[in-house]
Amino acid sequence: MEAARASSTLASPATAAALSAEILACARALRTAQPNAIATAFWDFDGTLIEGDCCEGFQREDGHGYAGLADLAIQRGFSARFQGDRARERMKEAARLVLQNEGHVIGNGFIAQVFAGAPLADVLALARDHFDCIMRPWMFAEAMEIWRALEAGGIRCHVVSASPDFFVKGAAATLGVPEDRLHGARLVQNADGTLSGETIAPITYAEGKAEKMREVLRDLAAADPAHTYWPVAAFGNCLRTDGPLLDAVAHTILPAGKPLAVLINAPTPASSRGIYREALFSARVLGQVGG
């Protein structure tokens, strides 16, 4: 299991309680210096909040796991392009070729585009149901502990994921927040409620995640000019995909306090020591489960 392997390479992983306390202290210092300030935290999703990948699914060596939402959505006929015999296999091969030939940013947009033509409401309903019935137990217990502590302390948590927006929004009830706090790769919605094949910038991968964070903060400030919004924490599990988001938060100069960038289940390169805090997420909310 990746988390178990990572534990032997992390220097001294911080506990969930210690991370929560430090981030909450930062938020208190921020509010003391600027009483109208609202603290925010930004989380990657796959491999950070949930074990595995909500889009691709997850299978442990002991046979436990869950089906991915991309497979389920294709089974339900939500992809006009990939239907009939071997639809899932053909989709995965097409995605592999896009990733190989055009890179990760276009590749992540392609996964969302697979479902062009599907009714958005129906895809969202599938995601909500799958999280509620199957994927909820696979949320990391440590992540949930921190998430709930931050929310209880007045820090607004947001998700920025490379998975399709209409998949990650399905976890909103599990996380106890409105769906507009969860952000993924988006498609334009047609007037009839179906998904178009047109992606909306930024595609939330690598630098696109940092750009999305800045967009969220701008939108919050525009909608609520009586308050200022500041990032006090960011969480991710892969420097390639989450590094720009982690760096953007780590280098934010707050009116008071120091923000935290937390790298989950992965060792920090020597060149980045002192920028990231390491943490090990291994336990799930409900322990050993099937799926």
Segment 112-150, tens digit of pLDDT: 999 999 999 999 999 999 999 999 999 999 999 999 999
So what's the pLDDT on residue 117? 96
* Span 189-217, pLDDT tens digits: 999 999 999 999 999 999 999 999 999 99
pLDDT over 90 at 53, yes or no: yes
Report the chain's mean pLDDT, rounded to a whole number.
92
What architecture does CATH give domain 2-279?
3-Layer(aba) Sandwich (3.40)
Q: Is residue 286 very low, low, confident or very high in pLDDT (cuts 50, 70, 90)?
A: very low
Strand runs labelled E in the chain: 37-43, 57-59, 65-67, 156-164, 182-189, 195-200, 228-236, 260-264, 277-279
Question: Does the reported pTM lie above 0.85?
Answer: yes
User: Is 291's pLDDT higher than 80?
Assistant: no
Per-residue pLDDT of 258-273, as tens digits, reads 999 999 999 888 777 7
Domain boundaries, the chain: 2-279
